[in-house]
Amino acid sequence: MMHSRGKTVLLWIFCLALFSVIVVVYLDWDGTLVWMYNNKSLKIIQLKNETEHWLTMPDWFKPRNGYISQEPKGISLPKWFNPSAREDVHTLTTWSAPIIWEGTFERSVLEDYYKEQKVTVGLTVFAIGKYLDKYLKTFLTSANTFFMPGHNVIFYIVVDNLSRVPLIELGPLRTLKFFQVEKESRWQDISMMRMKTIGNLIESHIRHEVDFLFCMDVDQVFESTYGVETLDESVAQLQAWFYKANRESFTYERNPESAAYIPYAEGDFYYHAAVFGGTPQRVYNLTRECYEGIRHDKEHNLEAIWHDESHLNKYYLQNKPSKVLSPEYCWDYKIGWSFDIKNIKLSWMPKAYEEVRNN
């Protein structure tokens, strides 16, 4: 009996020791539960403000099932979208995808639908080098208020230095996860390697945890509700400076040897890589295709004119998005006043390229 009990004690000690290597749990000074664990070379911190929920819900470790191969069923377009409500702008693409402008959608109908579905929305953002210090706190603070209010949100923040991460007080239904990666030597490579990293995160974490995913640049700020009207299988963002331009003036990659090449006679819109989204499966497809294009170019000593954005535009030309967001969802105030813009949801922060790209 004593021998058997001794084996049991030793087994428990071994299990606890193994668990302590993988997970360290402690309460921060403000009572926030902080999880830290290592996954090979990827360091991750998870913060959540609902401490009691975490302590009483052991199924937190259970993943959501099958989201990388499962498309959520949506609500029919006529029930929430009225393309004729804005006659001053284009509200439908040639392939009948909605272009979302203020006044064209009925958010309350969508809110009822998605709350019933209990969706979780993910948001990835990269804060590497000086971008972390200059932009991350403003981005997260505004996102906490305006990004998908009333719905479960997981922020996936990719940084190169965990020690410089700012303290953010989260609202209800918000979770933060920080991933540490190595910093590339050039800002162009940081931009292009983002596609590979997002794809890896979708495979390892995101596909188990969210129904929809957005990927955004950190040097932006939310100004009003960025809501469920943006959700769809594949979501592209119109570039604010080009939404009225003809396609001949789009800054596509024009070198036929590049994987991002688009001829002058082709193209629908010029899309902005500062915002793209969809279901985890669709975003995974986009990031993998863009990364393969970037890798192809590197092997041939090529680099597309606008890096990952050039490859993103090529992808959307060949794989039409199911929803397009107007410039109200990513506006640059340097453009000046525009009658088209009724309600700005997200805007560019002042660019400081000489400061933040001098790493």
Residues labelled as active-site residues: 309
Three-class secondary structure of residue 229 per DSSP: helix
The annotation status of 332 as a binding-site residue, yes or no, is yes
Cα 178 from Cα 193, distance rounded (Å): 17
Question: Which distant-in-sequence residues (6+ apart) come within 8 Å of 17 by Cβ?
Answer: none
Decide the pairing of beta strands 23-27 and 33-39: antiparallel
Three-class secondary structure of residue 57 per DSSP: coil
The annotation status of 245 as a binding-site residue, yes or no, is no
Residues 146, 238 contacting (CB under 8 angstroms): no
The one-letter amino acid code at 107 reads: R
Q: In the beta sheet, which residues pair with residue 157?
A: 125, 178
The annotation status of 127 as a binding-site residue, yes or no, is yes
Task: Count the Cβ atoms, other than its own, within 10 Å of residue 83.
Answer: 17
The annotation status of 260 as a binding-site residue, yes or no, is no
Where is 53: in which H helix or E strand? helix 51-56
The annotation status of 218 as a binding-site residue, yes or no, is yes
Cα 48 from Cα 31, distance rounded (Å): 10
Question: Which distant-in-sequence residues (6+ apart) come within 8 Å of 276 by Cβ?
Answer: 214, 215, 235, 236, 237, 283, 286, 312
Cα 316 from Cα 53, distance rounded (Å): 40
The annotation status of 131 as a binding-site residue, yes or no, is yes
The annotation status of 126 as a binding-site residue, yes or no, is yes
The annotation status of 297 as a binding-site residue, yes or no, is no
Instruction: List binding-site positions for UDP-N-acetyl-alpha-D-galactosamine.
Output: 126-128, 131, 217-219
Instruction: List binding-site positions for Mn(2+).
Output: 217, 219
Instruction: List binding-site positions.
Output: 126-128, 131, 217-219, 251, 309, 332
